[in-house]
A and B are shown apart, each in its own frame.
Chain A
Amino acid sequence: MSQEERRRADTRMVPYPSHSIVPERDVNSIPVLETRHLGIEFGGLKAVEDFNLTIGRTEIAGLIGPNGAGKTTVFNLITKVYEPTRGIVLINGHDTKGLNIVQASRLGIARTFQNIRLFSQMTVEENVRIGLHNQIRYDMFTGILRLPRYWKQERKQHQQAMELLSLFGMQDMADVRADSLPYGAQRRLEIIRAMATNPSLLLLDEPAAGMNPKETEELMENIVRIRDQFQIAVLLIEHDMNLVMGICEGICVLSFGKIIAKGTPADIQKNPVVIEAYLGRKKEAQA
């Protein structure tokens, strides 16, 4: 970029904040997540560009798009795995510039991973207890010396972990090693572990991947139930359109790093741009 071009780019006026939608019930509170002109470049390749999204306090939002569109990159930007090269991420109204993953999680975001990342050599209960790490605390010396506070906090952790596990009926598996759980249970455990951090925004990266229709149905109910019970916002990446159209209130469609459509499920379903991104142009299909 020449100096002249850069000067012109710096003085260019951009709409701010850009058009976004949230449910009517969340209009009176600060949005859980707000991204403005968020973008990241990897050595000249713009993986995500001008990503504007607002998520209401109790909204279930969906992020969809063809493979390689940059959906997981958006998650990594929100959770501070990557530092954005442009734009800002606000979590509960707090700027996240310069924060690391741990600090971002303390602001109230929790996530699950596309390829399951459990603490494989630990038990199911211990996995949930790691989620409770910053909720129920005591220091190292209390632990080594087994002071009364240790027993009190351990009991509290155990109770809370069990309560959380009972959300998905997994109390009986508390002592099983995480890597010996069946696939579906591993995915459920990841959600429980994320919920243990007491988040205000839950990010789910392909929660229904590899699940059969019946399990997906259950998962949909569970996500809605969690939202209702804990009054949190959920942002999910998913390829299963039944799930996305079934529970999401606002949907954002990403293609080649850019938002190509935003709206309610009904809007998205009849949006010609979205159909084109997923199925290709009509002319090409006929040819």
Chain B
Amino acid sequence: MTKAKRNRLIYNMITYGLVIAAFIILQSMVDAKTITRSLKGQLVPICAWVVMAVSLNLVIGFSGELSLGHAGFMSVGAYTGTIVSGWMLNVFDVQDTTLRLVVAILAGGLMAGLAGTLIGIPVLRLRGDYLAIVTLAFGEIIRNLVNVLYVGIADGRLQASFLKKTLPSQAIMLVDGAKGAVKIKPISNFTMGFILVMITLIVVINLINSRTGRAIQATRDNRIAAESMGVSVIRYKMTAFVTASVLAGMAGALYGLNATTVVPTQFTFNQSINVLVFVVLGGLGNILGSVISAAFLTVLPELLREFSDLRMLLYAIVLILVMIFTNNPLIRDFIGRLFQSLRRRFSHGSQDETTGGETK
């Protein structure tokens, strides 16, 4: 095994290991009831935002396109998920919450993937900042659409309309316009969130270390050279974009089914920027960084709650400090050396196999 390959393997194992360890610790805290109530309520959102950050990193960090409408895909997933869940409960009388959750997540991913495909086809053919502009518009369009969307169940059928009065008055409302998706039975749980995070990590990490992923990265590094090598740039940008939107839709379904209501204003441009902040703070193309920064920045506002009014100010200060520290060459160098000594200690334990390979 080459050195680069081994380093990558170690890095990926750290990523998986960290997520698994965090899950075990938090789950045992939940079981032992030692967890604070506010943190317990944050567990599923943390999972959802981690999935959002990792999937957006696929678009920004690996395919090099700036997408500013990631929350739009999340909203598509959230609404689809809640509607599908309510539909299954009310029409087919499916009581099994796990089955409902799984189907809702899959449906959310499917719809968001469809939306991603529709936007990607025209936009990924353009160069430069067009994707950013159109995805920004997409997020707003989706928000305004669901603002006037009414979905209800009447006569044992699912009915949808943009005008409330066209639905029968006795209908059980699932989505009620500006009030959002209402009367959701919260069925998301931390275990499912953890599974979704793991699936996301496996998909993204395996993808970027495959032929497809290398092609995606090649289109980022040099478009003309990639084309000259016979790599179809549009196709691979599309692959990255649609994969990311599917994952965002799944995260949305998980997130939406965690509360009793989902309102359109939850998925604004600000949320897209928030996810962008997770990605940039964690480092472009750095999966582990995205995971950590998404989890940390989701919990941070809650931790700062005692400062009440100063909360968002402190949030901004923390962001700036982290950016300064992670970008300072001296500090980076120090962290790099720390990692190197750790790695040396790590390979010391398995000295026989490594030195055996290297001395040849």
B222 near A118 (CB under 8 angstroms)? yes
What number of residue pairs across chains A and B have CB atoms under 8 A from each other?
104
User: Which residue in chain A gives the minimum CB-CB distance to B231?
Assistant: A133
Q: What is the predominant secondary structure among interface residues of chain B facing chain A?
A: helix
Task: Tell me how far the C-beta of B303 lies from the nearest C-beta in chain A, rounded to whole angstroms.
Answer: 35
Given A130-B218, A133-B215, A143:B230 Cβ within 8 A:
no
B161: CB under 8 A from chain A? no
Chain A residues contacting B222 (CB-CB under 8 Å) are: 117-120
Q: How far does the alpha carbon of A101 sit from the alpha carbon of B285 in the complex, in Å?
A: 27
Question: Could you say which residues of chain B place their CB within 8 Å of the CB of A85?
Answer: none
Contact of B4 among A102, A123, A130, A154 (CB under 8 A): A123
Nearest-Cβ distance from residue B227 to partner chain A, whole angstroms: 4
| Closest beta carbon of chain B to A118's beta carbon, Å | 7
A148 CB to nearest chain B CB (Å): 14
**B206 touching A130, Cβ below 8 Å:** no
Which among A81, A144, A194 is the interface contact of B207 at CB below 8 angstroms? A144
Task: Indicate if the CB atoms of B221 and A122 lie closer than 8 Å.
Answer: yes
Question: A134 interface residue, CB < 8 Å from B?
Answer: yes
Residues of B contacting A197 with CB < 8 Å?
Answer: 229-230
Interface residues of B in 1-55 (CB under 8 A from A): 2-4
- Which of the listed residues B3, B228, B239, B285 has the most CB atoms from chain A within 10 Å of its own CB? B228
Contact A117 B225 (CB under 8 A): yes
Min CB distance B167 to A, Å, is 40
Instruction: Give the CA-CA distance A154 to B2 in the complex, in Å.
Output: 14
Q: Looking across the interface, which residue of chain B has its beta carbon closest to that of A106?
A: B230
User: How far is A146 from B203 in the complex, measured between Cα atoms in Å?
Assistant: 10
Check if A113 is an interface residue, CB within 8 A of chain B. Answer: yes
B80 within 8 A of A: no
Check if A193 sits within 8 Å of B211, measured CB to CB. no
- What residue of chain A has the Cβ atom nearest to residue B221's Cβ? A119
B224 at the interface (CB under 8 A from A): yes
Whether A130 touches B226, Cβ cut-off 8 Å, given contacts A102-B232, A120-B221, is yes
Q: Which residues of chain A are near B4, meaning CB under 8 Å?
A: 123, 125, 174-175
By size class, the interface of chain A is: 35 or more
Contact of B228 among A111, A129, A154, A174 (CB under 8 A): A111
> Are B228 and A110 closer than 8 Å at their CB atoms?
yes
A175 to B203 Cα, complex, angstroms: 24
Name the B residues within 8 Å of A130 (CB-CB): 214-215, 218, 226, 229, 231
Please name the residue on chain A nearest to B5 by beta carbon: A175
Q: A256 at interface (Cβ–Cβ under 8 A)? A: no
Task: Check A105 for interface membership: any CB of B closer than 8 A.
Answer: yes
Contact B215 A117 (CB under 8 A): no
- For residue A140, CB closer than 8 A to chain B, the reply is yes
- Tell me if A121 counts as interface (CB < 8 A to partner B): yes
A170 to chain B, nearest CB (A): 14
Which residues of B have CB within 8 Å of A150? 210
Q: How far is the CB of B358 from chain A (nearest CB, A)?
A: 13
Complex partner residue of B210 from A121, A134, A144, CB under 8 angstroms: A144
A131 in contact with B229 (CB, 8 Å)? yes
A278 is an interface residue with CB less than 8 A from chain B: no
Query: Measured between C-beta atoms, what is the minimum distance from B22 to chain A in Å?
Result: 24
* A126/B214 contact (C-beta < 8 A), A119-B221, A140-B239 known: yes
Give Cα distance in the complex from A154 to B218, angstroms. Answer: 17
Minimum Cβ distance to chain B for residue A123 (Å): 6
Contact between chains at B221 and A121 (CB < 8 Å): yes
Q: List the A side residues contacting B202 at CB < 8 Å.
A: 144
How many whole Å from A65's CB to the nearest CB in chain B? 22
Would you list which residues of chain A between 73 and 118 have a CB under 8 Å from chain B? Answer: 79, 81, 100-102, 105-106, 110-111, 113, 117-118
Q: What is the interface of chain B, defined by CB distance below 8 A to chain A?
A: 2-4, 202-203, 206-207, 209-215, 217-218, 220-222, 224-233, 239, 285
Q: A117-B224, A130-B218 are in contact. List 7 more A-B contacts (CB 8 A).
A: A120-B222, A121-B220, A125-B4, A126-B217, A130-B231, A133-B230, A144-B210
Q: Which residues of A contact B (CB under 8 A)?
A: 79, 81, 100-102, 105-106, 110-111, 113, 117-123, 125-126, 129-131, 133-134, 136-140, 142-146, 150, 153-154, 157, 174-175, 193-194, 196-197
